[in-house]
């Protein structure tokens, strides 16, 4: 794994993934690769917000324009 240290904030401009799985009489062979393109951005520091979790909850992260759900999490016992 290669790490990158950036002086300015970055955003992911592109993500690419490919995977191959080969199955034959001798066995199974698989490989995968992922690449990201990061670009610098300008941003404003947001104020710190305290979040108190004292009961079960459901979290959905959605795409702002389309409303498509990108991530779902459920916390049963905080």
The domain ranges of the chain are 10-75
- Position 3 confidence tier, pLDDT thresholds 50, 70, 90: low
In 2-76, where do the E strands start and end? Answer: 10-24, 27-40, 57-62, 69-75
In this predicted structure, the answer to whether residue 2 has a pLDDT above a threshold of 70 is: no
In this predicted structure, the answer to whether residue 40 has a pLDDT above a threshold of 70 is: yes
In this predicted structure, the answer to whether residue 45 has a pLDDT above a threshold of 80 is: no
Give whole-number Cα distances, 58 to 3, 26, 29, 73, in Å.
32, 45, 38, 6
In this predicted structure, the answer to whether residue 11 has a pLDDT above a threshold of 60 is: yes
pLDDT of amino acid 16: 94
What DSSP character marks residue 40? E
Work out the widest C-alpha separation in the chain, in whole angstroms: 59
Give the residue-averaged pLDDT of 57-64: 88
User: For residues 28 and 21, is the Cβ–Cβ distance under 8 A?
Assistant: yes
pTM of the predicted model, to two decimals?
A: 0.39
């Amino acid at each position: 794994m290669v790490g990158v240290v950036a002086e300015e904030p970055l955003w992911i401009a592109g993500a690419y993934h490919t995977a191959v799985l080969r199955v034959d009489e001798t066995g199974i062979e698989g490989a995968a690769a992922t690449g990201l393109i990061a670009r610098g951005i300008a941003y404003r520091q947001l104020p710190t917000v305290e979040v108190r979790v004292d009961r079960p909850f459901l979290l959905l992260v959605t795409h702002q324009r389309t409303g498509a759900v990108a991530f779902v999490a459920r916390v049963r016992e905080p």
